[in-house]
Structure 1
Amino acid sequence: MLRPRIIPSLLVHDNGLVKTVNFKNPKYVGDPINAVKIFNEKEVDELAVFDIDASVQGNEPNYALIEKLANQSRMPLCYGGGVKTVEQAQKIFGLGIEKIALSSAVIQNPSLITEIANRVGSQSVIVVIDVKKKLLGGYEVYIHNGKKATGVNPVKFAEEAQRLGAGEIIINSIDQDGVMKGYDMNLIDKMVENLTIPVTVLGGAGTLQDIKKVIDKHKIIGVAAGSLFVFKGVYKAVLINYPNKEEKEKLYS
């Protein structure tokens, strides 16, 4: 039976694992390879790793790091950051990554979704949409780590990405990122009701109850979190964690 996926989201900056708040002020929290090893032991459903430097700086994906991550990971692994061509995507898949996350490049060149999906299959092509609320209501897509507004409507772009061959949408709330006060349920509702492909939500989880709230409403969905799985307690001590089998059953029930 299909179940929701609970997905740790890791950010890589200067080859280190970091956590941000509202996409700003990256705080170093450890070594990404070590984090992958710990998540292996915790038998996570899936792991997402995003290089937050590559697209902003115009860099190639860090293939050496990607290979290390893939070699260590015993779970499905999604990688995003700096992918702008079919050739780059194929090289990353050749290193052992199961899914590639595309963001800035496909906002600027949507046809890249189709080009990569035709080569590797839609199920492996994930489109990440970073979203911020507009002052007068509604939402807008941002690129380059939330630094550049695009004027693009996220729901309409998600529908377009689906039409072009994306196999999954990750909707990431910039406003909720690192705040740990819950997901933007209104944004999630709008996405889920307009799409038929899988949706994963990111940005805002502070407790397992925040995850349960999304699962209770939308059932088969991906629920990703960063801070929740790398911090512990009110003082945000760095501690890699993940719900055990009993905790996960409670989230599903």
Structure 2
Amino acid sequence: MLRPRLIPCLLIQDGGLVKTTKFKDAKYVGDPINAVRIFNEKEADELVVLDIDATVHRVEPNYERIAHLAAECRMPLCYGGGIKTAEQAKRITALGVEKVAISSAALENPQLIAEMAAEIGSQSVVVVLDVKKKLLSKHYEVWTHNGKHNTKRSPLDVIAEVQAQGAGEVVINFIEHEGTMKGMPLDAIKMFKAACRVPFTVMGGAGSLDDLGDVVAENGLLGVAAGSLFVFKGPYRAVLINYPTQAQKREKIYGRCHVQK
């Protein structure tokens, strides 16, 4: 039976696990390998790991680190950061990573998506779009390089483009909601999901299982990713790696999956 996916998203900076708020103020929260082991024990549906240094500093993916993460991970793993070529993507999947995520590279060179799909299969190519509303507007634009560069492109146009090139999954990350734990923008999520013909994942703003359940109730089968929700606990954001039990998922998430799209 197909079910919504609840996905922890881990950010790596300077080799450590960090959590940001609106793409700023990175707080160190621990060792990435230790976090992977805990999520293994808690039987997470999937795991996303993003190296937020690699693209900004224009460095190669850290293959040694990726190999360690893949060796430890007992769930499907998606890795992103610094990937610029289909050859790099192929090398990463050869290490045991199921999906490879690109962001700025997909905007700069859309043909890369098709090249990666030819090398590793469309189902393994994930395009992450970081989006933010235009000033004094309801319309969103796509940003890159950790929210520092505005492409001034509509996410809807980019979604259509990357799907045409062969992307197997689209992830929308809401910059203004990221790390705030104040809820997710339901209307925008519904609009972007309606434009997707491929598996769709959203992240940014989840502060409770009810927030994730709200997204599922509106949109049915999709991936819902979160960072702060799965690494912090309580109003003072104490560091605690956590993930819902199967019983909690049935109560808060699966039972609300009424829309099948």
Q: TM-score, normalised by structure 2?
A: 0.96
Residue deviations 1:30-74, cap 9 Å, x none? 000000000000000000000000000000001111000000000
Tell me, yes or no, if structure 1 residue 58 matches structure 2 residue 58.
Answer: yes
Alpha-carbon distance in 1 for matches of 2:105, 2:35: 27
Give, in whole Å, the separation in 2 of the partners of 1:58 and 1:164.
24
Following superposition of structure 1 onto structure 2, how do residues 71-220 of structure 1 map, counting pairs within 5 Å?
71-137=71-137, 138-220=139-221
Deviations 1:173-212, CA, capped at 9 Å, x for gaps:
0000000011111221111111111110010000000000
Return the letter of the residue paired with 2:254: Y
Aligned residue identity for 1:153: S
Name the CA distance, whole Å, in 2 between partners of 1:186 and 1:161: 22
Query: Secondary structure at the residue paired with 1:54?
Result: coil
Paired with 2:194 and 2:12, the residues of 1 have a C-alpha distance of 32
Please state how far the C-alpha of 1:118 moved relative to its aligned partner: 1.2
Match of 1:40, SS?
helix
The whole-number CA distance in structure 1 between the counterparts of 2:216 and 2:248 is 14
The aligned residue for residue 259 of structure 2 is none
Residue 136 of structure 1: SS of its match in structure 2? Answer: coil
Letter in 1 for 2:72: Q
- Structure 1 distance, partners of 2:35, 2:173, is 21
Q: Does 1:4 align with 2:4?
A: yes
**5+ residue gaps in structure 2?**
256-261
Q: Separation in 2 of the partners of 1:14 and 1:187? A: 33
1:42 counterpart residue number: 42
Could you tell me how far 1:231 is from its partner in structure 2?
0.1
Q: Which residue is 2:243 aligned to? A: 242
The Cα of 1:136 is off from its aligned counterpart by 3.1
Q: Give the counterpart letter for 1:252 in structure 2.
A: Y
SS in 2 for 1:57: coil
Distance in 2, matches of 1:155 and 1:244, equals: 35
Shift of residue 111, structure 1, vs aligned partner: 0.7
User: For 1:117-168, what per-residue CA distance to the aligned partner results, in whole angstroms no more than 9, with x for missing partners?
Assistant: 0111110000000001101310010000001111111111011111110000
Superposition deviation, residue 25 in structure 1: 1.0
- Paired with 2:136 and 2:85, the residues of 1 have a C-alpha distance of 36
Give the AA of the match of 2:223: G
Identity rate of aligned residues, in percent? 58
Q: Distance in 2 between matches of 1:141 and 1:62?
A: 26
Matched residues, number: 253
The CA deviation at 1:76 is 0.3
Detail structure 1 runs of 4+ shifted over 3 Å in the superposition.
none
Supply the distance in 2 between the matched residues of 1:136 and 1:236 (Cα, whole angstroms): 31
User: 2: CA distance between counterparts of 1:18 and 1:51?
Assistant: 10
**Aligned with 1:56: secondary structure?**
coil
Deviates more, 1:182-191 or 1:60-69: 182-191
TM-score normalised by the chain length of structure 1: 0.99
Amino acid at match of 2:239: V
How far the C-alpha of 1:172 sits from its partner, in A, is 0.2
